[in-house]
Amino acid sequence: MDNAPLPEKLSPYIDLETLIDIKEYKLSIDTQEYKAQIGKLENSSKIIFKLQETSELKDYYYKSDYSLNDLKQFSKIFRIFDTMDEAFKVIDEMFKNQNVYLEKDTNNLILHLTISNVLSLKEDISLNIKKEIMNKEQSNTLLFQSINQMKETIQKDRKDFENRINSLEQSLKEEKQKNENLQKTVDELKKIIDSINFHFEIDSNIIKTKSQFDLIYNRLNSHGPFKNKNPKFNLIYRASRDNDDPKDYNKKCQGKKNTLCIIETKTGCKFGGYTKTKMDFTKYDIIDPYAFVFSFDKMKIYENMKKESSAVCHSATWGPIFKNDAFAVWDKKFFSYDKHRVGTVSSSNFGIMDSDYELNNGEEYFSIKELEVFEILL
């Protein structure tokens, strides 16, 4: 039997909101699965057939629309119907009963319908479903629909969600030159992932993303006193909560060991350091081979390069200091003083830094927006 001809004029891309009685089904050819949608075009006597591949995001879909007269021209079954509603009901039943199958024809699809036991008539018909390339607006619409669907299922299957994001990112890398707007959307999507998919395991006003948390957690978990363990972060001091005077910092932190200091400057730089040593403010320069410094802006750990030299300074009047001025918080009100400082490549005990004052994006001095200290526990 010859395939049914395509209508001479195809309707433009139709959003689902313009259809009524929308039905959705799944069809497949070999291992490729398709989402099939059928619906009646509002204020028109046409049925829309639309199919999309479900394995990954594509910039095309398959669609054709047929009027009742179109169907009557190549199928005697449809000649008994006076309204499109009657024809639509029969087609819907075929999909429900799985009396349909797909065939690939060059760039198009052929939808085969098997009609049986309808008024004792039996007939097989074939509909050509034409491949259509999405324009940029349609591609972005499909992308955001996919994003919304993924957000709904994120708590059910996080691993599957991440795999789909990776697949989407890979596809966009290949298509970057063709559609830069989609690449920007993926960048925004990564921010969404961090915000909705990361349940914070640290009570911090400074750490905002999973990648920042992982930088510290993975370093603690990889070697040192917390190697292969599950470190916990107990907030013991926050300048905005506990007062920004060095005396209050010392009072809160006295006697604590395994501490992590995190600083956010008023220009937006974020850095800090870890020390295993006990916060004993009756002492001063202390050797600590386990100490390290980090930068969230560079996403980089700076290891202690001079393990036999003093790594930290516990002063009764100053804030946290990592030698030699890898960073140093002076004996002034943390928020009002603007001459806290970071060190140079040659002076710092922590490296390897690529440039002077690297922790503070090339500036020697900084003022503090927030300072937090955590006790690391098991």
How far apart are the C-alpha atoms of 93 and 95, rounded to whole Å? 5
pLDDT in tens, 83-142: 888 889 989 988 998 889 999 888 899 999 887 655 566 778 889 999 988 877 776 776
Q: Does residue 97 lie in a domain region?
A: yes
Would you say 107 and 131 are in contact if contact means Cβ atoms under 8 Å apart? yes
Q: Nearest CA to 1 among 86, 93, 132, 113? A: 113
- Greater confidence, 362 or 181? 362
Q: Does residue 4 lie in a domain region?
A: no
Indicate the pTM of the whole model: 0.51
User: Which amino acid is present at 316?
Assistant: A
Q: How many domains does the chain have?
A: 3
- Select from 133, 155, 188 the last residue of a domain: 133
pLDDT at 275: 96
How far apart are the C-alpha atoms of 102 and 110, rounded to whole Å? 6
**Helix and strand numbers, DSSP H then E, in the chain:** 8, 20
How far apart are the C-alpha atoms of 44 and 252, rounded to whole Å? 74
Note down the domain range covering 180: 136-197
Q: Does residue 167 lie in a domain region?
A: yes
Task: Return the SS3 of 105.
Answer: strand
Across the range 230-258, mean pLDDT stands at: 95
Would you say 103 and 125 are in contact if contact means Cβ atoms under 8 Å apart? no
User: Which amino acid is present at 165?
Assistant: I
Residue 64 neighbours by CB under 8 Å, 6+ apart: 6, 7, 10, 48, 49, 127, 128, 129, 130
Would you say 277 and 242 are in contact if contact means Cβ atoms under 8 Å apart? no
pLDDT in tens, 184-225: 777 777 766 655 544 457 999 999 888 999 999 999 999 889
Q: Does residue 205 lie in a domain region?
A: no
